[in-house]
Amino acid sequence: MAGWVSNLFKKKEFLIGVDIGASGIKLIELDLTGEKPALRNIGYAPVTGEIFSNNAISKPEKIAEQIAALLESNAVSDKRAVTAMPGPSVFTKKIKMQNMPHSELSDNIQFEAANFIPHNIDAVRLDYHVIGTSGKNQLDVLVVAVKNEIIDSFLSTLSLAGLETAVVDVDHFAVQNMFEMGYPEDISKTVALINMGARYAGINIVRDGISLFTGDIPVGGKLFTDALVAELGVAADVAEKLKRSPNGDAQYPQAKEIVDKNVEFVASEFNRQLSFFWNASGAEEGIDKIVLCGGGALVPGLVQEIAEKTGIECTLADPLRGVSVGSSFDALYLKEIGPLMGVCVGMAMRQPGDRVVWQD
């Protein structure tokens, strides 16, 4: 969000963005001391098998080992990290509160939240961000809550990897942070940011630095992989390669048809859900643009099919667009993993105390 910017005169801390996903672990570190963020470190490690149970990390030791190996292979020496909660695990609600001192606001929001959080208030981490004013002496407040067990699973995993968690973000808002840094010319537009991972697609509809609506759709890159495995009888690693082949595969000529069929299904689902989300937001204007990121967004033909189904301009994001990249980085490697880094780049832009945050 536009207001979520740390004080320019504070010393910037080097924090490592660690995005733990169902199909891979992404790591990035940015130098925020200059006029433009500069890339310090970047890495990716694939994940095999199920590592989540109800959005909590179910295999912390396994993931911690992979994070530690990724840190070592990239010669990352800093030990403070930012991570993000999966969108489906996060409860958000915008409320109006009377304008009052910060100390009183915190207590009053805690009291109010007990009435609308769908869990026992003691079972969640709760935080808030004042996003503006409304009417006479009123504040618009975004309240965010996540179950303790989910946050704790991420914190303990990072701790096992030798990292201290400085900031806990939410993947919806991390993508928004990346978008605003990399695409300043589009900030005034109404944009649907879609981050399509392996398990789900997170949607954040934004305008002028404000999140108008967030939601999740249970379709991701794994849908294509599973369809290829089921219909062709191939292994998952083979299916992963097949779904990224724009011209099909001579050995499996049916693969392209299977992918295309599911591309049409996913695009139709996005169209249906975007209409639902937008109506639920209560906004009158239409959506100007759709921006996709995440590994699932790389399936050939998906961007074009979404544009056709929705009638809205749709583009694939370049998460590193607003980042200065030195010549020491492998251009081919960055081209391969760069599109996966939307959440990670947004997290690496964070600093302690700059906005909604759970700190360990």
**Does residue 98 sit within a domain?**
no
Residues 202 and 68 placed together within one structural domain of the fold: no
Residues 247 and 350 placed together within one structural domain of the fold: no
Task: Quote the strand ranges of 160-251, DSSP E.
Answer: 164-170, 191-196, 201-207, 210-217
- Residue 21 CA to residue 139 CA, distance in Å, equals 35
**Does residue 95 sit within a domain?**
no
**Does residue 176 sit within a domain?**
yes
Residues 189 and 168 placed together within one structural domain of the fold: no
**Which pLDDT does position 7 carry in this prediction?**
41
User: Helix or strand or coil: residue 229?
Assistant: helix
**Which pLDDT does position 6 carry in this prediction?**
37
pTM: 0.91
Number of domains in the chain: 2
Residues 217 and 273 placed together within one structural domain of the fold: yes
**Which pLDDT does position 355 carry in this prediction?**
63
Summary count for the chain: helices (H), strands (E): 10, 15
- Residue 235 CA to residue 230 CA, distance in Å, equals 9
Residues 225 and 288 placed together within one structural domain of the fold: yes
Residues 196 and 344 placed together within one structural domain of the fold: no
**Which pLDDT does position 101 carry in this prediction?**
86
**Does residue 78 sit within a domain?**
yes
Residue 294 maps to which CATH number?
3.30.420.40
Residue 62: partners with Cβ closer than 8 Å, 6 or more residues away: 51
Provide the token pair at 315. Answer: 């583009």
Mean pLDDT by 10 residues, the chain (360 residues): 40 90 96 94 94 96 97 94 95 90 87 88 90 84 94 98 95 96 96 96 94 92 97 95 89 95 97 86 83 96 97 97 96 94 96 61
Residues 178 and 189 placed together within one structural domain of the fold: no
> Are the C-beta atoms of 342 and 319 separated by less than 8 Å?
yes
- Residue 106 CA to residue 322 CA, distance in Å, equals 35
Residues 5 and 58 placed together within one structural domain of the fold: yes
For the CA atoms of 193, 197, 200, 201, the dihedral, rounded to the nearest 10 degrees, stands at 10
**Does residue 356 sit within a domain?**
yes
**Which pLDDT does position 345 carry in this prediction?**
97
Domain that holds residue 8: 1-87+149-183+318-360
**Does residue 102 sit within a domain?**
no
Buried b or exposed e, range 42-69, using 16+ CB within 10 angstroms: bbbeebeeebbeebbbebbebbbebbee
Provide the token pair at 86. Answer: 């999966």
**Which pLDDT does position 11 carry in this prediction?**
64
User: Helix or strand or coil: residue 120?
Assistant: coil
> Are the C-beta atoms of 223 and 246 separated by less than 8 Å?
no
**Which pLDDT does position 10 carry in this prediction?**
53
Residues 72 and 206 placed together within one structural domain of the fold: no
**Does residue 199 sit within a domain?**
yes
Within 13 Å, how many C-alpha atoms sit on residue 9's CB side? 0
**Which pLDDT does position 3 carry in this prediction?**
37
Looking up tokens 């689902």 gives 269
Question: The dihedral of CA 17, 19, 20, 23: what is its sign?
Answer: negative
- Residue 19 CA to residue 15 CA, distance in Å, equals 13
Does residue 135 come out as left (phi exceeding 0), alpha (psi in the -120 to 50 range) or beta? left
**Does residue 189 sit within a domain?**
yes
Residues 209 and 265 placed together within one structural domain of the fold: yes
- Residue 24 CA to residue 198 CA, distance in Å, equals 9
**38 closest CA partner among 317, 318, 321, 326:** 326
| Size of the chain, expressed as the number of residues it contains | 360
> Are the C-beta atoms of 288 and 189 separated by less than 8 Å?
yes
Residues 23 and 160 placed together within one structural domain of the fold: yes
Residues 303 and 346 placed together within one structural domain of the fold: no
- Residue 248 CA to residue 139 CA, distance in Å, equals 54
